[in-house]
Amino acid sequence: MIDVSTGALVPHAKIPVQTGYQVPFAAKIREEAGIATGAVGMITDAEYANQVITRGCADLVFIGRELLRDPYWSIRARATWMMNRTGLCLTVMQLNNRDGGNN
């Protein structure tokens, strides 16, 4: 597994910063080297993160900074996924009860 980031450690690097801006690099390495990759780069939306994986751009999505901003990101993402899947608006408590109390 390679955690793919362009780094931007030199002052003259011109990297267009936008959602998923590192994903194409992860996809290229995954495709050409045939090795599992992890994508980074302002990935803050669960649906987008899922698309990165399901479209084969990367094997894993790192969402580190977003988790620092919102430690409940994964709970909200799951609730959104459940709402989209079932058409129901479920609270965190209801989600916990669905799983028998396990997160």
Half-sphere exposure of 21 (CA within 13 A, CB side): 11
pLDDT of residue 6: 84
pLDDT tens digits for 55-101? Answer: 999 999 999 889 999 999 998 888 887 777 665 554 545 555 555 44
Question: CB-based burial of residue 80 (10 Å sphere; 0-12 exposed, 13-18 middle, 19+ buried)?
Answer: middle
State the pTM of this model.
Answer: 0.74
Contact 1, 59 (CB under 8 A): yes
Q: Is the dihedral of CA 59, 65, 68, 72 positive or negative?
A: negative
* In the chain, domain spans: 2-70, 72-103
pLDDT of residue 30: 96
pLDDT tens digits for 1-58? Answer: 999 988 777 888 787 888 899 999 999 999 999 999 999 989 998 889 989 999 999 9
